[in-house]
Amino acid sequence: MNKTSETGRFCRPLSRGLLLAGLLLFAGSLPGLAPLGGPAPVLAAEKAAAAATASIPDLVERLSPTVVNISTTRVAKNRLGREFKQQGMGSGFIISGDGYIFTNNHVVDKADKIKVKLSDGKEYDAEVKGKDATTDLALIKITPPVELPFARLGDSDRTRIGEGVFAIGNPLGLDHTVTAGIISAKGRVIGAGPYDNFIQTDASINPGNSGGPLFNLAGEVVGINTAIVPGAQNIGFAIPVNMAKSILGDLKTVGKITRGWIGVTAQDITEDMRQNLKLKDRTGVLVGNVAPGDAADKAGIKTGDVILGIAGKPVKDNRELLQIVATLHVGSKEKIRIFRDGREMTLPIIIAERKDRQEQASGSGTSEQFGMTAQEVTPEIAKYFGLPEKTGVILTEVKAGGPADEAGLKPRDIVLKINTLEISDLKDYSEALAAGDKGEALLVLVRRGKANFFVTLKKAKEEKK
């Protein structure tokens, strides 16, 4: 076997130029801002900032032993069929004394061998206990002879924008590097998948930090560092730790994730729809299709209903519906709140299991790589646009700077045909976008208003790791 070694730094492209990377999103404290007024508040702010900054070294000293370096090796083949060893690196953090470790799925995916190095220099072989590509999370396990120090998992829902955070990781192989900053934003959707809900931080990020912890100033993990915007400065993303906590049990016991499913296709409510339906605001989602025999159908949900909440949680939009339902236990009996014929009502529903490739809501029937979101044409949409039912899919979002935007596509465009395939639903649409080689241009027939025209979409080429 050819022993040529290639180093993978886990920098994978996401939509809009985002990269999954061995990345660290570290945030720390900022000086408190003084309110308008005299000099006394400024002095108080300086003292508070000094106290917060002084606490970080103590936290780093205590928490560094909970952070690990991860190195991976896998045997791959080049274009000539020759084998070579591909090596990669990343970070992780210990979550229990018996050696369970959280990291990113893309750090350990397809690895033939995984090595974990502790802060004291000791190394252990690791095995993957469970992983989930959809959320990019993985649980690995080492077997130490003694109990290990472990990180405490915090509550990412309670984090606040502007809050100081910091991280420890393995950027570019520089183990236990510490970076600090703040939480810049929450709930970011970056095109990584249907459950996007990232914490954004202004921390410096580099390859090798993926899977490392983002700590708050109480010493709790609030995020798992995952992605950056390449070419930008101080824009990085972490998976909220609550998402990791919600799937930990499944990862540990069965090795994969079981998600809830109700069997509807829905869409966000436009202002025109709100007025037509006589809703007080645009909160909720409009049901465009109910899968026969599925959970929603059995509960009595109908096309044209507006879902306002489920399991005691309000539903703001389509993506939120997907995220809430995914966290519900299969078989659990819940209440779903809907609006129908001018009044609200509540129906009982039993949560089903989401199977592979099932789409809970319109936002999941998308091609993230093209920077656009598509929705099936419902009877209401067909009537509004004067179309026959089951004609194409409608674009509900086109991300600025993405391939769809560059091709001239706009929200409310109807996709009728891709290459030679007539599009009648999301299944046709997804299959047509998935066909073809990387870099190949797709010819797309679009209707805008009363005019039909063609555009070309070029599939993005994969970048080398």
Residues 111, 73: contact at Cβ < 8 Å?
yes
210 counts as catalytic: yes
Q: Using CA atoms of 386, 388, 392, 393 in order, give the dihedral in degrees to the nearest 10.
A: 60
List the structure tokens of 289: 């299709």
User: Per DSSP, which regions of 62-169 are E strands?
Assistant: 67-77, 83-94, 100-104, 113-117, 123-125, 127-132, 137-141, 152-153, 164-169
- Decide: 91 and 169 in contact? Cβ < 8 Å: yes
User: Which entry of 71, 91, 106, 204 is annotated as an active-site residue?
Assistant: 106
Q: Which of 91, 210, 362, 367 is catalytic?
A: 210
| Tokens at 120, concatenated | 């004291």
Give the 3-state secondary structure of residue 55: helix
Which among 180, 217, 186 has a CA at the least distance from the CA of 202?
180
Tell me the pairing of strands 372-376 and 100-104: unpaired
Residues in the chain: 465
Residue 410 CA to residue 444 CA, distance in Å, equals: 13
Which position among 15, 29, 136, 430 bears the catalytic label? 136
Q: How many helices (H) and strands (E) does the chain have?
A: 9, 31
Contact, 289 vs 304, CB < 8 A? no
Structure tokens at 462: 């994969």
Please give the Cα distance from 367 to 452 (Å, whole number): 22
Q: Count Cβ neighbours within 10 Å for each residue of 360-382 and write b for 16 or more, e otherwise.
A: bbbbbbbbbbbbbbbbbbbebbb
136 is annotated as an active-site residue: yes
Respond yes or no: is residue 329 known to be catalytic. no
Residue of 227, 230, 252 lying closest to 239 (CA atoms): 227
Strand ranges for 3-79 from DSSP E: 5-8, 12-13, 19-20, 67-77
**Could you list the active site residues?**
106, 136, 210
